[in-house]
Chains A and B, each alone.
Chain A
Amino acid sequence: MDAGIRNRRIAITTAALLAVAAGPAMAQTKTLDTVKARGTLNCGVNTGLAGFSMPDDKGQWTGLDVDLCRAVAAAVFKDATKVKYVPLTAKERFTALQSGEVDMLSRNTTWTMSRDTSAGLSFVGVNYFDGQGFMVKKSLGLKSAKELDGATICVQTGTTTELNVTDFFRANKLNYKPVVFEKLDETVAAYNSGRCDAFTSDHSQLYSERLKSPKPDDNVVLPDVISKEPLGPAVRQGDSGWGNVVRWAHFAMVNAEELGVTSKTVDEMQASANPEIRRLLGKEGDFGKGMGLDNDWAYQIVKQVGNYGEAFDRNVGAGSRLNIARGQNALWTKGGLQYGMPIR
């Protein structure tokens, strides 16, 4: 083989390798353009989690996480239905995001430092503040977890749940008797059969298990939250433009609730003189354009999906059978943690 041909071959091979290596990196910076060109948003959701992502009787995906996918689609396409839902298991989720199978992850994923800094993804907000709590028999008449001194508590072993409950009781100098089980189902069954005074798990889970128990009304979830499980959407690292779109889709919903703009009132609110509402709905300023969207981006979100409060009520709150209290997910003005960064 003469040197010319060989050099050319090497050059071609190198070019091909570089193209493969650079392919993802180049595409990463332009997720918004990719999504627009494709015409649908690929959104990674849970394979099934009560209140967060679940196909209803008709097979339509519903839930709080699903509503965030719909909000992003509404902002980008003015059509909340242009979403392809990709149900992902816990093991698949990060690979699916990194490999580009999904554009965003809205899959009750806890925002932790290691995930944010080393898993190749960036969290862009918190759409549900979860945390560990306790469910007890109503007949005990308890008002707070601090009154659980000496209680027997059913807990799943080998999880952070078990460690959190130990810390909580040690910190408060209280005694408790743990009854540990390998599986969640066994833990719940033991609580339901009366082996324990309390059952501990994440709040969203407690409300689900309460509904599945033989007598839901005999059980009550205590308001205390003893751990931090901020669940939020994530995008691929290194694409801050796309991260902005997802982040502000969530903030738009929270801002709309703060301003009292709902899916029903959004049309009449367009005539509002309130400058904050005018900025939110794109009547003033070029806030949508700055993200590469139209200025009515937030109007479309609120019109088609609703504000954060509406989404919460419909999926997990008072409007659903779960009936989860707003708690930490109330607006900051009402003692919660949901805070819409100002649109200005």
Chain B
Amino acid sequence: MTTHAPSTTTKTMRPPAGAGPIAWMRQNLFATPVDALLTFAGLYIVYRLLGGFIDWALVSATWTGDDGKACSRDGAGACWPFIWHKFGLFMSGRFPDAERWRIYLTYGLALAGLVPLMIPGVPGKLWLFIYMLGVFPLLAFVLLSGGMFGLSHVPTELWGGLLVTLVVACVGIAASFPLGILLALGRRSELPIVRWVSIGFIEIVRGVPLVTMLFFASVMLPLFLPENVTFDKLLRALIGVALFSAAYLAEVIRGGLQAIPRGQLEAADALGLSYWQKMGLIVLPQALKLVIPGIVNSFIALFKDTSLVLIIGLFDLLGIVQQSVQADAKWFSPSTSTTGYFFAGFIFWIFCFGMSRYSSFIERRLGIGDRKS
């Protein structure tokens, strides 16, 4: 998709075609009769697909109404009032209305730390890092859960929707990253017990599907605990997701570690660096840089895997949309479920697409992209 350099041989052989969109179209879309045919065929397919979608989402869509009756007419498209009325529920679950500002403040605090951290060239990265890893999680916990500093306690069974998706994904990512690094280093360690424990953990966790781990945490665990000792369902899911993701991440990072030439380690030894200095200053910065695509891939997968918490009765974004389309008789209509799932898919896509764009930006900046071509 990038613009070609003008000095390629094919271009100079051709007669000058002039500039402008018409010339571009003639060159790229209608160069031969076959090209022209393919172009028209492609346009027709796009028209059919996009036309159907636009009709569903805009032209025949229902825009106002107070229940599913409004969307039940013949040939009705998307049922948008369903989304408007349920928006609060989809975003924050059953979190009390009066307390929702706490969620928005948490998002704001996260952005305040993340955005400058992600923009290269903003000073004070170290402090931002400390804020994001040390201060922010505490603030977020106090704000969301409450129960201190005059904030009312909001038990986690009231959390839901995008809030749960983000909490599970962010905690999973934040906890699995350091754990993954430790496991990767452990697996390459020369100390046998550390190595065996790391290998054992990685292989056992990777050998079990996430669904099984979640089931174990929600169905088996309570049986082993004494009665009335129940620990939070969300916490169980968080631990399960973090451990699971750490095992996968460890293997991705190990791939990076293996790519570091032996000479680097020997040079570090020659300088008299300790193990942690060697890893922290020489090996990991290079290894992690190499595996950024793999790490982001794991994070995107983790973000999407969060929907699995649905099976243990937690309502993430997809779960709460599914609950509403399947069970809220008030909103039943032929188009309610399509609209709901479209909305959930769209939100997921925004986040995943954002992550993948940011990772390719970072790769370009760090110069990894150059090596790919």
Contact = CB atoms under 8 A, between A and B. Distances in A.
Given A212-B337, A321-B69, 7 more contacts: A48-B326, A89-B313, A91-B215, A92-B219, A99-B225, A99-B227, A212-B336
Interface in A123-178: none
A214 B329 CA distance: 15
Contact of A95 (B72, B219, B326): B219
Nearest to B82: A57
Contact of A56 (B312, B315, B328): B328
Nearest to A209: B332
Given A50-B326, A87-B313, A322-B329, A27 B228 contact: yes
Contacts of A86: 157, 313
8 nearest A-B residue pairs (beta carbon): A48-B327, A59-B94, A48-B323, A211-B332, A99-B222, A100-B227, A24-B227, A50-B329
Interface in A82-116: 84-89, 91-92, 95-96, 98-101
Interface residues of A, number: 44
A321 B157 contact: no
A273 interface: no
A199 to B, nearest CB: 15
B311 interface: yes
B271 interface: no
A96 B313 CA distance: 12
Contacts of B97: 58
Interface string B330-366: 1011101100000000000000000000000000000
Majority SS at the chain B contact face: helix
Contacts of B68: 211, 321
Given A56-B330, A84-B155, A20 B219 contact: no
A216 interface: yes
A213 interface: yes
B227 A215 contact: no
Interface stretch (B85-93, B142-150, B190-198): B85-93
A263 interface: no
A227 interface: no
Contacts of B212: none
Contact of A24 (B155, B157, B226): B226
Contact of A212 (B160, B222, B334): B334
Nearest to A26: B227
A320 B93 CA distance: 23
B276 to A, nearest CB: 41
Nearest to A38: B228
13 contacts: A27-B227, A27-B228, A47-B315, A48-B328, A50-B326, A54-B329, A57-B88, A57-B89, A84-B155, A88-B313, A89-B312, A91-B215, A211-B333
Contacts of A58: 89, 97
